[in-house]
Amino acid sequence: KTGGTTFGRHLVRNIRLEQPCYCRAGQKKCACHRPGGDKDTWLFSRFSTGWSCGLHADWTELTNC
């Protein structure tokens, strides 16, 4: 194991940003939007977007789903 799950969870929950990710208690996914009021997601991970586009989706799949 490489620690990717632990790293991804800490990236979403503990990174200090101008607009941090919004995480609800008891939920695995967090909302990680870009600063400035738009709703563009800046971080794609199972802890932010989940697997909504399929497991290990590439950029083409992420932009088309």
| Average pLDDT of the chain, as a whole number | 78
What pLDDT is recorded for position 56?
A: 73
Domain boundaries, the chain: 1-65
Catalytic residues, by residue number, are 56
CA atoms within 13 A on the CB side of 38: 4
Mean pLDDT of all residues in 47-53:
71
The answer to whether the predicted template modeling score (pTM) of the entire model surpasses 0.95 is no
Report whether pLDDT(50) > 70: no
| Ranges 30-34, 39-43, 54-58, most confident | 30-34
CB atoms within 10 A of CB 9: 16
Report whether pLDDT(6) > 70: yes
Backbone φ and ψ for 24, nearest 5 degrees, come out as -90, 145
Q: Quick one: DSSP state of residue 3? A: S
